[in-house]
Amino acid sequence: MVDNFIANLNVWSYMTMENLKHLLKEINILNQRIKDREDHEDTFNLFDLMCNRYNEVYLHSRFLSVLLDPAGSHKMKDSFVRLLVDKLNLPFEYNLSSLEVYPNERDQHEYKEIDILLIDRQRKSAIIVENKIGARDSNHEEEGQIERYYRIITQKDGIPEDSTSVLYLSIDRDAPSDESVNKSGLFPGLKDKVRSIHYGVEILDWLRNCVKECYNKPILRESIIQYIRLVEDMTSNNTSEEDMKSLMYLVGKNDDNLMSAKRLIDNSKHLHWWAIFEFWKLLSEKFVGLGFSIRQRIENEMIDNLVHGSAARRNKADFNLELTTPDNINFTINADHDNYICIGVTDGDVKSSGLKTKAKAFFKANEEVLNLENCENWLFYRFIDFSGYDGLYLGDFSEELTFRLVSEKCRDEIVNTVIKQTQKVLKEYRRSLK
């Protein structure tokens, strides 16, 4: 694959490259014009001001569930529920008097840790919504996360499986992990039953319909509009029709531009592959230069799976760069196919039960201070924080930070950030081992 890409580069003529440079220059001019206009636009947004825009629990799940609650202060009764059920064509039967939504304005707690739940115990019907924004599936040793929620609703609450819908809501992924839906094997058909929906598609369409429904309630209407703008920005749906037409004109105004744009599109996967390859290569080299040793490298086959593989192969593309410090502390830098890059210590990094106990104690003592998390096979981990970005997600080349890996300068800055934050965590972890 590498040889084919190099061969493709070699057949590019000097004129083709010049045409490409010219097209990029024109697009850059357009981009600057758009930026200048946006600098003078009204971008005030309460959601951005009041909390982290990526907070799935206290922002997104809370706002969406409040809209869906027929007893909510919006006084729209079940109008928004009907719009969602119709939009997604869900088999959800309910009575207005017996429909319950969690969380809600009166009880802001999740029901059994389910992000959003719509349930009618009289009509025996439910909708489970698992909301994922930059988080792993929280699987247990005995069962997966979606399995657990599904078991609670169907077995403990007594809702028939045929009347229980499961929605997996996300910005940047297609489906829950295999472990999340089939770890225990209790529900063999659950994987096919879970329906993936996206903020940038189904949720935006539904929200826009909600705005039309509450046209005569200005405060509610404007609140939803502000949330729509936030979601549009998060999902890169904020390019205006006028700007898209301008971009289309630039690309299509002559054959040179048209074919140069096609050349970029045709090679986007190759650019993605090389960006990831060079990132891991540089990160590994810098760690070695600092005296670290590598126990497990990133194989090219893993990058192939992520960039060129089928859905099944992509789901197996989980990167684990296993390293050892000069003073023999093992740790792992991880980037799963569906998540942001993180640094932590896995079960495989520790060699004794005593060390595992210390690692668990370190997590408990520093969970809030260092923003640590843990899950199956991970004693602790911490997502790498990048200023202005939610994280580095290698699986999506449309993410700005991921795309910036193409630039040698940006790639070096990103690698340095990973190393700096890794050393910070290791410094504290090292103290706890003494």
My answer on whether 180 and 55 are in the same domain is yes
Report yes or no: 339 and 392 within 8 Å, Cβ to Cβ.
no
**Cα separations in angstroms, 113 against 109, 138, 145, 338:** 8, 11, 10, 21
pLDDT in tens, 71-119: 999 999 999 999 999 999 999 999 999 999 999 999 889 999 999 999 9
CA distance 106 to 71: 9
User: Which pLDDT belongs to residue 21?
Assistant: 65
Tokens representing 348 are 């495989």
My answer on whether 311 and 222 are in the same domain is no
Answer whether residue 1 shows pLDDT above 60: no
My answer on whether 62 and 206 are in the same domain is yes
Answer whether residue 253 shows pLDDT above 70: yes
Of these ranges, 3-7, 181-185, 419-423, the one predicted with the greatest mean pLDDT is 419-423
φ, ψ of residue 228 to 5 degrees: the values are -60, -45
My answer on whether 294 and 409 are in the same domain is yes
Closest to 64 (Cα-Cα) out of 206, 267, 238, 232: 206
Owning domain of residue 156: 48-234
My answer on whether 284 and 262 are in the same domain is no
Give the domain-ending residue among 234, 258, 288: 234
301, 306, 309, 313: CA torsion to nearest 10: 80
My answer on whether 68 and 165 are in the same domain is yes
Query: How large is the average pLDDT for residues 266-281?
Result: 92
Give the domain-ending residue among 213, 234, 255: 234
My answer on whether 36 and 119 are in the same domain is no
pLDDT in tens, 44-69: 777 777 777 777 888 899 999 999 99
Q: Confidence class of residue 12 from pLDDT cuts 50, 70 and 90?
A: very low
My answer on whether 127 and 187 are in the same domain is yes
- CA 163, chain centre distance (Å): 29
pLDDT in tens, 368-424: 899 999 988 899 999 999 988 878 999 888 888 999 999 999 999 999 999 999 999
Query: How large is the average pLDDT for residues 122-132?
Result: 95
My answer on whether 36 and 164 are in the same domain is no
pLDDT in tens, 287-320: 999 999 999 999 999 999 999 887 778 878 889 9
My answer on whether 290 and 385 are in the same domain is yes
Give the percent of the chain with pLDDT over 90: 59
Of these ranges, 34-38, 110-114, 134-138, the one predicted with the greatest mean pLDDT is 110-114
- The count of structural domains within the chain is 3
Residue scoring higher pLDDT (285 or 395): 285
User: Which pLDDT belongs to residue 279?
Assistant: 97
User: Which pLDDT belongs to residue 11?
Assistant: 47
My answer on whether 157 and 26 are in the same domain is no
User: Which pLDDT belongs to residue 30?
Assistant: 61
Q: Confidence class of residue 41 from pLDDT cuts 50, 70 and 90?
A: low
Task: Specify the residue for token string 């940006």.
Answer: 410
Answer whether residue 6 shows pLDDT above 50: no
pLDDT in tens, 139-179: 887 899 999 999 999 999 999 999 999 999 988 666 888 88
Residue 164 belongs to what H/E stretch? strand 164-170
My answer on whether 28 and 91 are in the same domain is no
